[in-house]
Structure 1
Amino acid sequence: MGIRNYLIEGVSGTGKTSVCDELLRRGYHAIHGDRVLAYQGDPETGRPTSGFTHENHIWRVDEVRASAAAQDEEVTFFCGGSRNFAQFIDLFDGVFVLQVDLDTLRRRLDARPEDEWGGRPEERELIVRLHRTQEDVPKNGVIIDATAPIERVVDEIVRQCSLRRARL
């Protein structure tokens, strides 16, 4: 995957999927972690679990490690949320945490269909709590204001990556 690897995280509704789509549109190598790497499992052991719960939304650590170790691309962006990120966060050259204000978050969640995560009232309540506490996103990531238009959000992420590379 990437010589340099970056994680793009944030609570549901902050724009991780949109950022990934925009990075891909611009020709960057980007992975939709929630589509490609995610499954339902125990965050500590990795053992698969049945049913869907937010707490058991994890990524396949072996696949993240293999993808991050490959040197096929100049840069790879891993986009999505995972409850087991602590098991692989050390692989990344940088972490970006997308953040929005509560009104923007609620507006985005209100637009979601009921069959998409965050579309049901109980899921929205959980997301609003996680937005408030920030308990399941990386603590040392670079905060990105994701209320801006998606093009500007991605411009800022790319700019931050260039700054980090210049420091190496």
Structure 2
Amino acid sequence: MGMKNYLIEGVSCTGKTSVCNELQRRGYHAIHGDRELAYQGDPETGQPTDGRTHENHIWDVEKVKVLVSNEDEPFTFFCGGSRNFSKFIDLFDGVFILDVDRETLKRRIDMRSEDDWGAKKSERDLILRLHQTNEDIPKNGIIIDATAPIEHVVDEIIQLCK
């Protein structure tokens, strides 16, 4: 929904939701991808699947295309992760990857409530492995140090968009 569209990605607990909230607070058009675009589906075909797995957490590609084609806003930020980002990443003018050190990541995981994704040991182990390998995030994004206060993280993203 913007003349310029940006994806904000990163492993779980790096701050995607917090960045989206701060962008919205500042008046920017920001979409909570994990809430507004995500569903459980096959990353290749898009066909819905049962259950709640990390591997099948995907975004609706057609919805992403529609939102990107709308130029009502100067900038639109798509915040969240999906296992099918390769199906739509070329639509974005830029990609930002939120990154934190391992200790910060562990501390943030520990702060999650029991019903949040990442609270179970198997989910925690997966998050830590994905953080170490970076296998689950876009390869050519601009790395943003998300250990800084959220205001500074968003300031840096906005500055890089201008």
TM tier, shorter chain? Answer: over 0.9
Q: CA shift at 1:118, angstroms?
A: 0.7
Q: CA shift at 1:119, angstroms?
A: 1.2
Q: Distance in 2 between matches of 1:133 and 1:120?
A: 20
After the TM superposition, which segments of 4 or more aligned residues of structure 1 sit over 6 Å from their partners? Answer: none
Q: CA shift at 1:142, angstroms?
A: 0.2
Matched, 1:67 2:45: no
TM-score normalised according to structure 1 size: 0.96
Matched, 1:39 2:39: yes
- Give the letter for the 1:145 counterpart: D
Q: Distance in 1 between matches of 2:135 and 2:116?
A: 22
Matched, 1:94 2:116: no
The DSSP-based 3-state class of the residue aligned with 1:54 is: coil
Matched, 1:57 2:62: no
The DSSP-based 3-state class of the residue aligned with 2:55 is: helix
Aligned to 1:166: none
RMSD between superposed Cα atoms in Å = 0.4
Percent identity over paired residues: 71
- Give the letter for the 1:41 counterpart: G
Q: Distance in 2 between matches of 1:34 and 1:108?
A: 18
Aligned to 1:29: 29
Report the more deviating stretch, 115-124 or 60-69: 115-124
Q: Distance in 1 between matches of 2:50 and 2:70?
A: 31
- Give the letter for the 2:85 counterpart: F
TM-score normalised according to structure 2 size: 0.99
